Amino acid sequence: MPYITQIETNFKGKDRVIEIQHPHIAVVGNNASGKTALVNAITLPITGVAGDLGAREEGKAAEMLRYLAPDHSRAYSRLTFSDGSKASWEVRSTGKPEFHPPEFAVSTPFDDAFAMLKGSRETVIKYFVKNFGPTDRPIPGFGVYAGMARGKPWYIALPEVEAEASKVARAHKATMSALEKSAEAAFGWDISKGYRTAEPDAMQALYNTLVAQHKAATKVADEAMSDMAAWFDSARLDLGRALRSDPMLSEVGIVYTKSQALVGLRRGDVIVDPLISGAQTMLLALKLCAHARRDDYGMSLVVMPDRDYDDRTKWNLMEFTKNVPINTVLQTTRLPPGPLGAHWSVVNV
């Protein structure tokens, strides 16, 4: 698996070149020293996204990222990987960012696992489908979405179809809500109840079309989710046993009902307690990364949340991670005491 061997960037300072010796990178520095900027210099050329900016619109995110450069006119980061390939991200004072991702596919198993442990029933189901689902389960017919599923294994096709259909349904619902408000404001008319005149009305016709498209997309999303839930319900006991067969995950338990899915820590043979601390969640998410499906990816990237845990927690996280075939990025104000240098590249900022 490729890993980063060099970082070239001008984020939050002068141009610099950083050599990396190991797949695991610890970014160490005081608060406001530039740790997050360096993490962005790693993630942007790989994913095109700065994690600390969340889901901001691309133009606004690019405008904020320009200020990472010394003169606010050009911010860039270039990565070199162990196989000799490169990736880059750059934005200038005008224009959109130029993003050249790696030649290989990249997975983010920690993000998926962390979201699953803190997420909804649907998030839990989709996580296990993606990482443990069968390849040859029959794929339902999805109408206009059938092309998305064609040629893909079930565990990839179902989550992608569900996500796209849900996205379309939400977009149609938002437009429907806007039309309802416009009709009410302009005419005092409840457009959801039908035509206000005997003659066809363009606004009502558009609304009716959106209603039909919303229903169709929602139906596809529900069918995909229902099929994933049916597989999870039939496989969850085997999944639980498979996870617990790993000594590192022997404490994991799964609770599943029609209204709830929970992955937590087992207490006794039956009771499963939810994760109550961020440290518990992070460590379990990292352990699950060792079981994440990687057959379709050239590289797995884990960026740990920016939280300065106590020395014991950091030691456990760093000690465990060295045995997992992933690229890891940790940011902290100080390293825990102990000989971790043989497995981690430490970058002081």
How far is residue 135's CA from residue 7's CA, in Å, rounded to a whole number? 37
pLDDT of the residue at 69:
63
pLDDT of the residue at 335:
85
How far is residue 135's CA from residue 153's CA, in Å, rounded to a whole number? 5
pLDDT of the residue at 142:
86
| Strand, coil or helix: 120 | coil
pLDDT of the residue at 305:
78
H helix and E strand count, the chain: 9, 13
Instruction: List the alpha helices (DSSP H) in 188-201.
Output: none
Q: Which of 243, 242, 246, 266 is nearest to 255 (CA)?
A: 266
For residue 256, the number of C-alpha atoms closer than 13 Å in the C-beta half-sphere is 18
* Polymer length in residues for the chain: 349
Q: Which of 7, 30, 29, 229 is nearest to 127 (CA)?
A: 229
Block means of pLDDT (10 residues each) for the chain, 349 residues, are 91 86 90 86 88 52 63 84 93 81 87 87 92 89 86 91 95 93 85 67 86 95 94 89 80 81 74 71 82 74 81 83 82 81 82
pLDDT of the residue at 245:
83
In tens, the pLDDT along 124-145 reads: 999 999 989 998 899 988 888 8
- Class of the 4-108+295-348 domain? alpha beta
Burial class (CB in 10 A: 0-12, 13-18, 19+), 198: exposed
Burial 110-136 (b: 16+ CB within 10 A, else e): bbbbbbbbebebeebbbbbbbbbbeee
Asked whether the whole model's pTM tops 0.85, one would answer: no
Q: Give start-end residues of each CATH 3.40.50.300 domain in the chain.
A: 4-108+295-348
Positive/negative CA dihedral, 331, 337, 341, 347 = positive
pLDDT of the residue at 56:
44
In tens, the pLDDT along 46-61 reads: 988 876 555 444 545 5
pLDDT of the residue at 250:
80
pLDDT of the residue at 74:
80
**Which residues have CB under 8 Å from 40's CB, separation 6+?**
11, 50, 51, 52, 65, 68, 77
Q: How far apart are the first and last CA of the chain?
A: 27
Looking at residue 41, its amino acid is A
